[in-house]
Amino acid sequence: MKRSAIAAVIERDLLRDDDVPSSDVARCFSCGHGMIYRGNRFCSECCRNWFDDGNPPHATPRIIYRDRAGNEMKLGATGFRTPCGFCGKEFKSKGLRCCSLNCERAYRERQDNFAIMAEVGDTPKEKRRCAQCGGPIPTWRNGRRVRHDAQFCSPKCANGPRQPTAIFRGDNVQKVPDLRVLKQPL
């Protein structure tokens, strides 16, 4: 045999998948031990009793639900916890877009206004973003107009841990000199 043929055989053997499941080998539902399937999903009575006592199975599949944008949806007791389409408040939903009938009406009115603005050729003004969470900064808070130089959307964000500003990110960071070099004897 030629060297190239021998190398090809060795490479094929090294890259072979050894975990090819046989048709008669199954995993115990309780402990995960390999066994020959004989019409029972447990390998022993001990595993069956352990599972019947309320213990979890060996590999519980975690199902992740995602919305159209690809974001993970939080599972609630009777549906999903989703943000309201209008006010942004999180609520338990069984497929609804908004948390209340008033929010749904306001949401539809806003969408109609956006459609009218698009016909005229006008675009809505981009809202300022919070320096902490990235959410929109409201125009009004507690019946008063929010200052034009406000950086945070709420007092909670203003008192929270600060995110580094753009000045300190990436290549703009100034390097601190290494003082250990100065302490070394010559």
Query: For the segment 32-71, what is each residue's pLDDT rounded down to a tens digit?
Result: 888 887 788 888 888 889 888 888 887 766 778 888 888 8
How many degrees, rounded to 5, is the angle at CA 94 between CA 93 and CA 97? 55
The angle formed by the CA atoms of residues 48, 28 and 56, to the nearest 5 degrees, is: 60
Ordered by start, the domain boundaries in the chain are 18-61, 74-120, 125-173
One DSSP character per residue, 125-168 reads: PPPPB-TTT-PBPPSEETTEEPPTT---SSHHHHHSPPPPPGGG
Token pair listed for 123: 């675009």
| Segment 111-130, tens digit of pLDDT | 999 999 999 988 888 888 98
Backbone angles phi, psi at 87, to 5 degrees: -90, -15
Helix or strand (DSSP H, E) at 26: strand 25-27
When comparing pLDDT for 102 and 77, which is higher? Answer: 102
